[in-house]
């Protein structure tokens, strides 16, 4: 017995000595590599030890949100906002105790003006349907003012697309296909679909990459494809096309998009066949004529003067030829991979661009003709309600629904290593995303959003959210005092 124990401990000691020797040898080799390399100053001046800087820098990205960032500090979405979405999606109570942690005196923050005579529960009415394309052969009556924004199959995994589409069906809202094209998973869900047409015309292109009328007709023949959206730009990267890394372009995605498997999918930075405003209106009307369904555009506002030019051109042609809707995206980022200069500095944020767009449409007598869909970091009820009060007819969200799927803001959407299986095609990582469970969470989040926006409306004395106006919101100014949104942006009706 003793001899056996002695042998066992001898083996352990020998293994330990061997490991220490290997470790020492590794340190010596790395020491001389670092000392003689010329790419990194830190490693050259502090061999071996300098490598820990890069390790800690990498790990800090993941630990900050758990140990260091306060509830209202983290970007792009702080913990307080994410936690509300998680609780809403799980169906657990979203109420909090002991007051708000929001710094409500910060410039730009908004406050809703509650009414002394709030609307009683028994006096509330269901939200009115929103009509799109009254002049189309097949207009669309949208049941919900809060819907799923464009996220492509390819950028998202198969189970993520399935869960979103099936969740949209459960909730009674629409789902936008994103520029990657309408997949079988969108169609099978039975949800209302907005088919997005990006600059590369994925899903509706011919062999040469041009718009195909035959494919447009085939897509429009599906009864649950309700509208078409021409994507001119998006909040993550105004002025640059979609980017899908080669490792994400599998055979199925290549077939849907009409491209080559295994090659990076890089869309043009604009539509090559749309060179001016007149050609844009021509494209809108061509697609509407071919499909018989409402057609709109998605855009980030740059120079507001272009929207004036667009409205002038519409009025010259007659408002029948106007886009049926404009999806206005915010320039403060999005779910797509993007170059940082575009992500950070190009385009106007929604808080500034939305009232500008609404006022331009009002001044040109086009607000009733063109529906406005607001997009951009609108993941909680107060921000959705604010957009409706400014003048939006509907709101769409991408990242809010990603959080509902279980996104933890790991910031790896473009690396095919998403730990929650949402933006990766690694089947091992996708395994954790259970479609049946996540589709219910998507529906719960959407329904809770509707409920809480209605709750804010009722507090303001309104029967439904469509009655919001700018007079119901005040915006905090630099001196800490608030000013009515109606004063800041007076609608010239």
Range 169-181 average pLDDT: 95
127-141, 144-158, 243-257: least confidently modelled range: 243-257
Q: Hey, where are the domains in the chain?
A: 2-68, 121-488
pLDDT per residue as tens digits for the range 332-363: 766 666 677 776 777 899 999 999 999 999 99
Nearest to 200 by CA among 240, 158, 148, 157: 240
Range 155-180 average pLDDT: 94
Give me the pLDDT at residue 27, please. 80
Q: Is the pLDDT of residue 468 over 80?
A: yes
Q: Is the pLDDT of residue 285 over 90?
A: yes
pLDDT per residue as tens digits for the range 185-230: 999 999 999 999 999 999 999 988 899 999 999 999 999 999 999 9
Collapsed DSSP state (helix, strand, coil) of residue 198: coil
Q: Is the pLDDT of residue 70 over 60?
A: no
Q: What percent of the chain has pLDDT over 90?
A: 53
Task: List, in order, residues 6 or more apart from 193 with CB less than 8 Å away.
Answer: 165, 174, 175, 176, 177, 182, 186, 187, 222, 224, 225, 226
Output the pTM of the full model.
0.86
Average pLDDT of the residues of the chain:
87
Q: Is the pLDDT of residue 258 over 80?
A: yes
Give me the pLDDT at residue 218, please. 96
Give me the pLDDT at residue 8, please. 66
Q: Is the pLDDT of residue 66 over 70?
A: no
Give me the pLDDT at residue 190, please. 95
> SS3 breakdown of the chain: % helix, strand, coil, rounded to 5?
45, 15, 45
pLDDT band at 62 (very low <50, low <70, confident <90, very high): low
Q: Is the pLDDT of residue 45 over 80?
A: no
Token pair 């999606």: residue? 89
Q: Is the pLDDT of residue 447 over 90?
A: yes
Range 396-423 average pLDDT: 84
CA angle 322, 324, 330 (to 5 degrees): 105
pLDDT per residue as tens digits for the range 101-126: 677 778 888 899 999 999 998 888 88
Give the H or E element holding residue 80. Answer: helix 79-90
Residue 419 has, within 13 A of its CA and on its CB side, a CA count of 6
- Bigger pLDDT: 413 vs 176: 176
Give me the pLDDT at residue 71, please. 52
> What Å distances lie between residue 331 and 319, 342, 354, 374, CA to CA?
28, 9, 11, 12
Whether residue 188 contacts residue 177, with contact meaning beta carbons closer than 8 Å, is answered with no
Give me the pLDDT at residue 493, please. 47
DSSP state of 191: -
Q: How many CB atoms lie within 10 A of CB 60?
A: 11
98: left (phi over 0), alpha (psi -120 to 50) or beta: left
Task: Give the span between the Cα atoms of 132 and 121, in whole angstroms.
Answer: 29
Q: Angle of helix 381-390 relative to helix 435-459, nearest 10 degrees?
A: 60
Range 297-320 average pLDDT: 96
Q: Is the pLDDT of residue 304 over 70?
A: yes
CATH architecture of 121-488: Alpha-Beta Barrel (3.20)
Is the peptide bond prior to 76 cis by the omega test (within 30 degrees of 0)?
yes
288-317 exposure pattern, b = at least 16 Cβ within 10 A, e = fewer:
bebbebbbbbbbbbbeeeebeebbebbeee
Quote the distance between the C-alpha of residue 71 and its chain's center. Answer: 21
Give me the pLDDT at residue 376, please. 87
Q: What percent of the chain has pLDDT over 70?
A: 89
Task: List, in order, residues 6 or more apart from 336 with CB less than 8 Å away.
Answer: 155, 234, 236, 237, 242, 243, 413
Task: Give the span between the Cα atoms of 450 and 143, in whole angstroms.
Answer: 11
pLDDT band at 264 (very low <50, low <70, confident <90, very high): confident
> What Å distances lie between residue 325 and 212, 269, 373, 392, 492, CA to CA?
22, 22, 7, 11, 21
455-467 exposure pattern, b = at least 16 Cβ within 10 A, e = fewer:
bbbbebebebbeb
Range 54-80 average pLDDT: 62
Q: Is the pLDDT of residue 6 over 70?
A: no
Give me the pLDDT at residue 15, please. 81
Quote the distance between the C-alpha of residue 307 and its chain's center. Answer: 23
Collapsed DSSP state (helix, strand, coil) of residue 102: coil
pLDDT per residue as tens digits for the range 361-385: 999 999 999 999 999 889 899 999 9
Q: Is the pLDDT of residue 56 over 70?
A: no
pLDDT band at 67 (very low <50, low <70, confident <90, very high): low
Range 401-422 average pLDDT: 82
Longest Cα pair distance anywhere in the chain, in angstroms? 101
Q: Is the pLDDT of residue 235 over 80?
A: no
pLDDT band at 33 (very low <50, low <70, confident <90, very high): confident
């Amino acid at each position: 017995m003793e001899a056996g124990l002695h042998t066992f401990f001898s083996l352990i000691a020998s293994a330990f000595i061997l490991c220490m020797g290997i470790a020492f040898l590794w340190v010596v080799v790395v020491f001389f590599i670092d000392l003689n390399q010329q790419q990194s100053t830190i490693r050259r001046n502090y061999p071996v030890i300098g490598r820990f800087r890069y390790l800690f820098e990498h790990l800090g990205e993941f630990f900050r949100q758990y140990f260091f960032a306060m509830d209202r500090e983290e970007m792009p979405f702080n913990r307080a906002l994410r936690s509300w979405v998680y609780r809403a999606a799980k169906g657990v109570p979203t109420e909090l105790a002991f007051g708000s942690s929001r710094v409500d005196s910060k410039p730009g923050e908004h406050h809703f003006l509650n009414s002394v005579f709030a609307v009683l529960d028994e006096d509330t009415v269901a939200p009115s349907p929103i009509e799109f394309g009254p002049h189309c052969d097949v207009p669309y009556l949208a049941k919900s003012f809060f819907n799923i924004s464009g996220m492509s199959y390819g950028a998202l995994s198969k189970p993520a697309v399935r869960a979103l589409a099936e969740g949209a069906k459960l909730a009674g809202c629409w789902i936008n296909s994103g520029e990657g094209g309408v997949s079988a998973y969108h169609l099978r869900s039975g949800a209302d679909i907005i088919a997005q047409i990006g600059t590369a015309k994925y899903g509706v292109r011919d062999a040469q990459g041009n718009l195909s009328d035959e494919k447009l007709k085939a897509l429009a023949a599906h009864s649950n494809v309700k509208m078409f959206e021409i994507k001119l730009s998006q909040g993550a990267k105004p002025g640059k096309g979609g980017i899908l890394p080669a490792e994400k372009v599998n055979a199925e995605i290549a077939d849907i998009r009409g491209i080559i498997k295994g090659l990076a999918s890089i869309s043009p930075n604009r539509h090559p066949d749309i060179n001016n405003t007149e050609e844009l209106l021509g494209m809108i009307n061509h697609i509407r004529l071919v499909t018989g369904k409402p057609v709109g555009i998605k855009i980030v506002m740059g120079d507001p003067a272009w929207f004036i030019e667009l409205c002038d051109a519409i009025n010259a042609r007659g408002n029948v030829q106007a886009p049926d809707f404009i999806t206005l995206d915010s320039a403060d980022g999005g779910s797509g991979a993007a170059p940082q200069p575009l992500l950070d500095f190009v385009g106007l944020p929604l808080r500034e661009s939305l009232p500008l767009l609404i006022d331009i449409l009002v001044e040109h007598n086009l607000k009733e003709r063109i529906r406005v869909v607001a997009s951009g970091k609108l993941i909680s009820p107060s921000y959705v309600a604010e957009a409706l009060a400014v003048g939006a007819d509907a709101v769409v969200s991408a990242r809010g629904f990603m959080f509902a799927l279980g996104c933890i803001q790991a910031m790896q959407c473009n690396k095919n290593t998403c730990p929650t299986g949402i933006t990766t095609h690694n089947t091992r990582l996708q395994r954790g995303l259970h479609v049946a469970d996540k589709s219910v969470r998507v529906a719960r989040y959407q329904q809770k959003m509707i409920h809480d926006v209605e709750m804010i409306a009722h507090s303001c004395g309104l029967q439904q959210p469509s009655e919001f106006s700018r007079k119901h919101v005040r915006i905090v100014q630099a001196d800490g005092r608030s000013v009515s949104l109606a004063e800041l942006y007076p609608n010239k009706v």
